[in-house]
Amino acid sequence: MAKIIDGNAMAAAIKTEIKTEIESGNLQVGLAVILVGNDPPSQIYVKYKQKDCGECGIHFYGYTLPEDTKTEELLELIDTLNADPKVNGILVQQPLPAQIDLTAANERISSLKDVDSFRADNVGRVMLGSYALPAGTPAGVMEMLKRENIEIAGKECVVVGRSNIVGKPMAMLLLHENGTVTICHSKTADLKAVCKRADILVVAMRQPNFITADYVKKGAVVIDVGINDAGEGAKGGRKLVGDVDFVSVEPAAGYITPVPGGVGPMTRAMLMRNTLTAKKLQEK
Ligand code: NDP
């Protein structure tokens, strides 16, 4: 039986630490979140961020722009927020409507306010190993491993997925901790054999319940980043499942993260932490 890593409890502890630091330093910290359009899941994610800010003592500045917003209009708002000293972090909720130039929006956010770490320079800093604002999801996974005292140095680490926001930075962060890292993707020849080598297996592939027990070495640490909509839940609302088949993998693994309640809340906690870090960087 695996130890189930409780991302909710860990995230709550991190948010309490952030709140304590903000209160004891009497700091004024602000996060601006821009939502373009009416995508219902995005609206929910923004509400969660607002709640997290409230729990941490971070001022939340929410902006909702219409679905037909032009890139220039979004950039103008970003410029205003870049110049506002009350705003320490800026986040543009994704996905964005098709007419918006996503790269232009990401790159327009001031480097020191880029709390999602989507700008090319901040991505590059993660690559170099000298960074202050790592992307939330990989940072959340690293924090989970650290708080569970899971050794990374010398371990076989396999990351399934190579996206710019999860897979690639995840691999870099594990490498910086001296893991021996392999990145897999849809063209990997024998995914099962590679996954089976892993002491630490991080799965971010957007494929519901894909990873079953036969992909997992006995006793491995299995981190499930995936969040997939699996239709209506038993008590109404949506049912969410990961990329790992929890029922099949849990008996084989040493540690496992659940979905929901695993990496998701840690990603959100890392956004709060990045916002506080951004405040400190801006005051230097
Ligand atoms: P992407 O869709 O951008 O990337 C998926 C990756 O998985 C790609 O690199 C793709 O390979 C690879 N892949 C897909 N199918 C296979 C396969 N059969 N075998 C091997 N590799 C495969 O996803 P993201 O990185 O944005 O997100 C991954 C998952 O994590 C999603 O479920 C997402 O919802 C979730 N997520 C969760 C977060 C959280 O806070 N917990 C935050 C962000 C994302 P290729 O490059 O070859 O196409």
Reported as a single tens digit per residue, the pLDDT across 137-170 is 999 999 999 999 999 999 999 999 999 999 999 9
Q: What is the dihedral of CA 40, 42, 47, 50, to 10 degrees?
A: -160
**Which atom of ligand 1 is nearest to 166's Cα?**
25
- Strand locations in 66-213, DSSP E? 89-92, 156-160, 180-184, 200-203
Pairing of strands 59-65, 30-36: parallel
pLDDT > 90? residue 235: no
Q: Is 46 in the pocket of ligand 1 (CB under 6 A)?
A: no
Q: What value does the mean pLDDT of the chain take?
A: 97
Contact 84, 41 (CB under 8 A): no
Helix (H) or strand (E) holding 35: strand 30-36
- For ligand 1, the distance from its centroid to the CA atom of residue 263, given in whole angstroms, is 14
Q: What is the DSSP letter of 257?
A: -
Catalytic positions are 49, 93, 116
Q: For ligand 1, atom 19, which residue shows the shortest CA distance?
A: 186
pLDDT value at residue 24: 98
pLDDT > 80? residue 218: yes
Backbone angles phi, psi at 90, to 5 degrees: -130, 135
Q: Is 109 in the pocket of ligand 1 (CB under 6 A)?
A: no
- For ligand 1, the distance from its centroid to the CA atom of residue 163, given in whole angstroms, is 6
Contact 271, 259 (CB under 8 A): no
- From 102, 137, 141, 166, give the residue whose CB has the most ligand 1 atoms within 8 Å, as the site to mutate: 166
34-60 burial, b at 16+ Cβ within 10 Å, e below that, comes to bbbbebeebeebbeebbebbebbbbeb
Grade residue 231 by pLDDT with cuts at 50, 70 and 90.
confident
**Which atom of ligand 1 is nearest to 242's Cα?**
32
Distance CA 35, CA 33 (A): 7
Contact 278, 89 (CB under 8 A): yes
Q: Is 204 in the pocket of ligand 1 (CB under 6 A)?
A: yes
Q: Is 178 in the pocket of ligand 1 (CB under 6 A)?
A: no
Distance CA 94, CA 77 (A): 16
202-218 burial, b at 16+ Cβ within 10 Å, e below that, comes to bbbbebbbbbeeebbbe
pLDDT value at residue 95: 94
pLDDT value at residue 227: 95
Kindly state the tokens that stand for 49: 């961020």
Q: For ligand 1, atom 8, which residue shows the shortest CA distance?
A: 161
- From 118, 201, 227, give the residue whose CB has the most ligand 1 atoms within 8 Å, as the site to mutate: 227
Q: What is the DSSP letter of 244?
A: B
- From 39, 143, 163, give the residue whose CB has the most ligand 1 atoms within 8 Å, as the site to mutate: 163
Q: Is 268 in the pocket of ligand 1 (CB under 6 A)?
A: no
Cβ neighbours of residue 247 closer than 8 Å, sequence gap 6 or more: none
pLDDT tens digits, one per residue of 6-35: 999 999 999 999 999 999 999 999 999 999
Q: Considering the chain, what percentage of its residues have pLDDT values greater than 90?
A: 95
Pairing of strands 228-232, 238-241: antiparallel
Cβ neighbours of residue 181 closer than 8 Å, sequence gap 6 or more: 157, 158, 159, 171, 174, 175
Kindly state the tokens that stand for 244: 């790992």
pLDDT value at residue 111: 98
Distances (CA, A) of 29 to 5, 86, 87, 110: 30, 7, 7, 16
Q: What is the DSSP letter of 214?
A: G
pLDDT value at residue 236: 75
pLDDT > 90? residue 38: yes
Cβ neighbours of residue 199 closer than 8 Å, sequence gap 6 or more: 155, 156, 157, 217, 220, 221
